[in-house]
Amino acid sequence: MNEGTIELASPQDADAIWALYRSLLREPYGTWDEDYPSREIVEEDLANNDVLVLRLPEGGIGAAIVVEKSEEFEADVPWYPDVTRWCALGRLGVAHGLQGRGIARRMLTEAMARAKAEGYEAVRFLVGAHNVPALRSYATLGFEVCGQTRMWDEDWLCYEKRL
């Protein structure tokens, strides 16, 4: 079954990405709420060309992920000490009707391939410590838990993977 193609999002995708994120608020394992991710964050991600989307055959967006250079991940975590060029993955969301089909892993795989092509040595991201479905996905892709942190009133596992 053709579930679409992964491509770089454009500013015209802001409404669709925003709608996707809003549809995923208050998920049982999620950490998103009415304030995060904000519309301003979506627009900033798009302005920076940091968003990949799964464009569905009928033209809608079924998933999104952000690949960005971020200072937030400089937390006191034992990241790989020899990695000097890394990027952060975040705001991965998959539409309800597509969940459980490997889309999240597909988005992560594409994001990592693009990061490697851009010369990054590793990718990092935070996942809510209670997000069981996400933890399963990341384990199958060989991510390593480098530590834990508490930010934004949440407990997070800190994941890293060499590219």
pTM of the model: 0.91
What's the pLDDT tens digit per position in 54-68?
A: 999 988 999 999 999
Residue with tokens 């033209």: 59
Domains parsed from the chain with CATH numbers: 5-162 (3.40.630.30)
The fraction of the chain above a pLDDT of 90, given in percent, is 57
Which structure tokens are listed for 59? 């033209």
Rounded to whole angstroms, how far apart are CA atoms 90 and 32?
12
Rounded to whole angstroms, how far apart are CA atoms 146 and 43?
30
What's the pLDDT tens digit per position in 72-114?
A: 666 678 888 899 999 999 999 999 999 989 999 999 999 999 9
